[in-house]
Amino acid sequence: MDDRGTAGSLPAGGGRRRGQGELEAQVLSVLRTAPGPVTAAWVQKHLPGALAYTTVMTILSRLRAKNAVTRQRDGRSFAWEATADQAGLAALRMRRVLDGERDREAVLTSFVTSLSREDEQVLRELLDHANVDHADVDHADVDHADDGPAE
């Protein structure tokens, strides 16, 4: 379930070694082509390459932990269904990275950082000011309204 240190822990069921994220995406896309809730065996049959059943189950459980699939009891096994698409899965995974890593600034240069209450006030005034200015010049010359005050 923890995708920090367990990168290599998948059973080596499928010949070529694939990344864990890639496998998750593949299982999810197969699941999305299913006519309805299907069993893990169905997923295994429709996956490219020969993945072990346990691998498929592992990946399905991981996807479930990320809320990308749901399962319901169907007789003696589970029937699985996709709730997210590939982009949705990527979004879920990315959120976990963003929420889980405090010190990520040096890698992922965020567009903006957090604001304190004072910052928010200052920013609001700056933007209001800019918008008023902008409205004034909009009538005159839109293209050159952006060069800032002449110095």
Partner 1 sequence: MGLFVFLPLVLPLTAWPIARLAEQHLHPRTATRLLSGVGALLALCSTLCLALIMVVGTAQLPGNPLPDSWSDPEVREAVPYDGVAGRAAIPALAAVAVAAGHTLLRHRRVRRRAERALEGLPPSSVVVLPDEAPYAYALPGGRGPTRGRVVASAGMLARLDSRERRALFAHERAHLAAGHHRHLLAARLAARVNPFLRPLDTAVVYCAERWADEEAAGAIGSRRVMARAVGKAAMASRGAPSAAPTGFATGPVPRRVAALLGPVPPARTWPPAFTAAGVALWTAAAGAAASALSSANSAVALFLVLKAATPL
Binding stretches for partner 1 (CB under 8 A): 3-4, 7, 19-22, 24-26, 28-29, 85-91, 93-98, 100-101, 103-120, 122-124, 126-127, 129-131, 133-134, 143, 145-151
CB of 75 to partner 1, least distance (A): 31
CB of 8 to partner 1, least distance (A): 12
Token pair for residue 109? Answer: 């240069």
Considering the complex, state which of residue 74 and residue 108 has its C-beta at the smaller distance from partner 1: 108
Considering the complex, state which of residue 45 and residue 104 has its C-beta at the smaller distance from partner 1: 104
Considering the complex, state which of residue 74 and residue 124 has its C-beta at the smaller distance from partner 1: 124
CB of 7 to partner 1, least distance (A): 8
CB of 142 to partner 1, least distance (A): 9
Q: Which of 8, 133, 95, 98 is nearest to 58 (CA)?
A: 8
Round to whole Å and give the CA distance between 4 and 113.
25
Considering the complex, state which of residue 29 and residue 61 has its C-beta at the smaller distance from partner 1: 29
CA angle, 136 then 111 then 106, to 5°: 150
Q: Is residue 141 packed enough to be buried (19+ CB in 10 Å), middle (13-18) or exposed (0-12)? A: exposed
Round to whole Å and give the CA distance between 78 and 72.
6
Round to whole Å and give the CA distance between 57 and 129.
57
Considering the complex, state which of residue 40 and residue 89 has its C-beta at the smaller distance from partner 1: 89
CB of 4 to partner 1, least distance (A): 7
Strand partners, 79: 72
